[in-house]
Amino acid sequence: MIADEGQPLLSGPVRRKPSRLSLYLFIWGLAASVLLLLQVAPFGQFRASPQAPPQKRNVIFMVSDGMGPASISLARSYRQYVHGLPEDDILNLDQHFIGHSRTRSSDSLITDSAAGATAFSCAHKSYNGAIAMLPDHTACGTLLEAAKDAGYMTGMVVTTRITDATPAAFSAHVNMRWQEDTIAEHQIGDYVLGRSVDLILGGGRCHYLPSSVDGGCRKDKRNLVEEAASNGWTYVDDVKGFKSLGGGQNVSLPLLGLFAPKDIPYDIDRHDTEHPSLVATAKTAIQALARATQDSDKGFFLLIEGSRIDHAAHSNDPAAQVREVLAYDAAFAAAVEFARESSTETIVLSTSDHETGGLATARQLTPDYPEYVWYPEALHNATHSGEYLARKLKELHDSDENIKKYVAEEIIGNGLGIADFTEEELKAVVKNRKNAVDVLNNMVSVRSQTGWSTHGHSAVDVNLYGFGNTERAMKEVHKQLSGSNENTDIGAFMWSYLDVDQSAITKRLKDLDGTGALSVSEMETDDYHHRI
């Protein structure tokens, strides 16, 4: 048989020439397989899959102590009124709302700040008063401690005492929150784990200094400021020292900044020449930690607390509280702005440990069916907090006649911005001039028709806000925290996100069992029930 001219003169079956399309598909498939398997980077280096979580990341966790949903409504309406903004203008926080947090503690439907912060730091429920301690009074490792142990840099920024409940629950372990002398010792590293905090900015010199030193209140003779300095801490305690930090560009860590003996004044009373603002300290801390980790494969964990939102609510002072909420909102905006511009994956979370005051932007003043009104202008007219004005009044030593004139003109007129006060109100302030906080704050609350149900905390759910600067981070935040959460869920998410080991830290803390127990006499002299 003569072979066909088109058939190769080879034995075996006829092999057809592949089509051009088949050849293209083969080459494309081979190239795609190689790239998928190897993910070859320029210069022959390998790179991780885009879906793999980054090794370096930051967490900025913000706590608006005592702020419930009504505080947001109050601040939003106030801001619209003051600046003549339209009704659809919202706060920075509003733009990042993702859900809410359920706040109960292990022993009460109404939590205190200590148990609330322990839920965040340890991801466990505990009893009211517990500072990173479990219900059986054993210490639980905190997120900040574990982050430091894993190589992250850590920091805390607050407007109250740095030894107060929220920062304490991340940086110390004591059975009850009022053990602030011991808390201060742990914060500078005088406990079994050594130093876990790299940066501290807030108030609270009192528990760092002995009572023999101006502004000190320790029950022993230790000067923790001097001890910290001898162990390498940079220390600043005034605005001049704060400005020397250059907004975080000129910081040597570890840094201890204590800008008031106790709490930093309310924003309505505060002067930039005397005390730094929350947004300023927050920005400084963020930049300092970012610079300190720029060459590290680990990022940072930073706690920022708008602490005195809670205090204003305890005092039922709407004029002070609205300024505290807006100051916190500005700090939140600064944190989000940093995250947007950072090349390191960063999440910003914000929530409250609880609500305080049972605040309502409504108040019924008469037995008749009430009008639907709320007046933010009454808050705007006030130039000082009730706490500040009551302190000024208490310091007076003058005749009754002069005190009455001073109260009318300076306290009520200039301080509260109230011109239509009654003779009965004037008499009430004068009569209670040794402790006039409630009377003064009620005058503003009545005129704004702001309601309060308690001087304590409430069991109301609190809002949760979140932002991530990458698509992956944002997906994780929404996947894990959108909707209704227990407060412990927020802590658990941060532990998971930073990929740090709690069990190892908790195991090392077994030596702290029962640390710092106070005697009964010491507990009785402490002002525990004041602003918890």
User: CA 236, CA 202: separation in Å to the nearest integer?
Assistant: 11
The residues that bridge with 201 in the sheet, in sequence order, are 157, 257
Look at residue 435 and give its three-state secondary structure. Answer: coil
d(CA 21, CA 472): 38
> Which tokens is 394 given?
């208490």
Both tokens assigned to 118: 């322990």
Q: Are 143 and 195 in contact (CB under 8 A)?
A: no
The two three-digit tokens of residue 368, written as one number = 């008749």
- Give the Cα-Cα-Cα angle 509, 163, 170 (nearest 5 degrees): 40
Which ranges of 458-501 would DSSP assign to H, the alpha helix? 471-481, 487-498
Instruction: Specify whether the backbone of 175 is left (phi greater than 0), alpha (psi in -120 to 50) or beta.
Output: alpha
Rounded distance between C-alpha atoms, residue 229 and residue 42, angstroms: 48
Tokens of 238: 């005034």
* Active-site residue, from 113, 126, 385, 458: 113
Task: Report the chain's terminal Cα–Cα distance, integer Å.
Answer: 106
What letter does residue 260 receive in the DSSP assignment? S
* Residues 23 and 311: beta-carbon distance below 8 Å: no
Number of neighbouring beta carbons within 10 Å of residue 360 = 16
362 CB-contact burial (10 Å; exposed 0-12 / middle 13-18 / buried 19+) = middle
- 296 as an active site residue: the answer is no
Query: 3-state SS of 336-389?
Result: HHHHHHCCCEEEEEEECCCEECCCECCCCCCCCCCCCCCCCHHHHHCCCCHHHH
User: Mind telling me the catalytic residues?
Assistant: 113
